[in-house]
Amino acid sequence: MLKLDIQLKRGRFERHVRIDDEARVIALTGPSGAGKTTVLNAIAGLVRPRSGRIEVDGRVLFDSAHGIDLPAHRRRVGYVFQDARLFPHLDVRGNLLYGRHAAAEGAPRFELDAVVALLGIGALLARRTTNLSGGEAQRVAIGRALLSQPAILLFDEPLSALDQARREELIPYLQRVRDEVRLPMLYVSHRAEEIRQLAEATHHLD
Ligand SMILES: Nc1ncnc2c1ncn2[C@@H]1O[C@H](COP(=O)(O)OP(=O)(O)OP(=O)(O)O)[C@@H](O)[C@H]1O
């Protein structure tokens, strides 16, 4: 589902990364500074590899040899960060609907009502985002990512800013997203337990 073979460079950091895996949910692990976030950013179109190719489910996002470099907004990438990065001037509904794209063809695959039900956030819709718990905010961030009609979901340590109890609360929602939306997912984490609960394959950057 995910095929990438890229040469990355950020300042003095330089490395080659190759992932070619048919698993739908891949954990990306490795020590601090190994380049995990840079790989996600390269898939999202926020960092340009020096060379190489990135393909998601047969769709080419980047291919330096053929001059292909889709802009970020055309890559159909849903990105969930360590902190939820919700917009403070919008309520939860406004955050969810922000960046909702019409699907490439036909009706959007992910609809507000279904996403709200999947993530259990119906009671939060009219709330300001500033007083949500960390776990609630992350569920809204995942919902916002899904409503952008992505073809892949990228998670950059989405549980690491939460305490143990909140982490355990969020895991079942991530499992539901994994099992019900069935998108390719690349999940950065360094917690073995979390990876065991969520991923089908692990790719280690050392
Ligand atoms: N904008 C930048 N300019 C220069 N160097 C950068 C830039 N962004 C990242 N780097 C360097 O690239 C390397 C990889 O960073 P990256 O954030 O991808 O690592 P990571 O594996 O995600 O680390 P962590 O687990 O700490 O988040 C690091 O050495 C970092 O200092």
* Cβ(34) – ligand 1 distance below 6 Å: yes
Give pLDDT tens digits for 110-164.
Answer: 999 999 999 999 999 999 999 999 999 999 999 999 999 999 999 999 999 999 9
Read off the pTM.
Answer: 0.94
Q: What span, in angstroms and rounded, lies between the C-alpha atoms of 172 and 177?
A: 9
Amino acid at 46: L
Q: Give ipTM to 2 decimals.
A: 0.94
Return the best residue to mutate from 6, 7, 8, 10 for the ligand 1 pocket (most ligand atoms within 8 A of CB).
10
Give pLDDT tens digits for 175-188.
Answer: 999 999 999 999 99
Q: What span, in angstroms and rounded, lies between the C-alpha atoms of 20 and 47?
A: 20
| Residue with token string 């490795």 | 30
- Alpha-carbon separation of residue 140 from 13, 57, 93, 167, 193 (angstroms): 33, 26, 9, 15, 23
Q: Which atom of ligand 1 is nearest to the CA of 30?
A: 21
The CA 38 to ligand 1 mean position distance, Å, reads: 6
Kindly report the protein residue whose alpha carbon is nearest to atom 4 of ligand 1.
11
User: What mean pLDDT, rounded, does the chain reach?
Assistant: 94
Domains observed in the chain: 2-204 (3.40.50.300)
* Cβ(28) – ligand 1 distance below 6 Å: no
Q: What span, in angstroms and rounded, lies between the C-alpha atoms of 19 and 4?
A: 5
Give pLDDT tens digits for 18-39.
Answer: 999 999 999 999 999 999 999 9
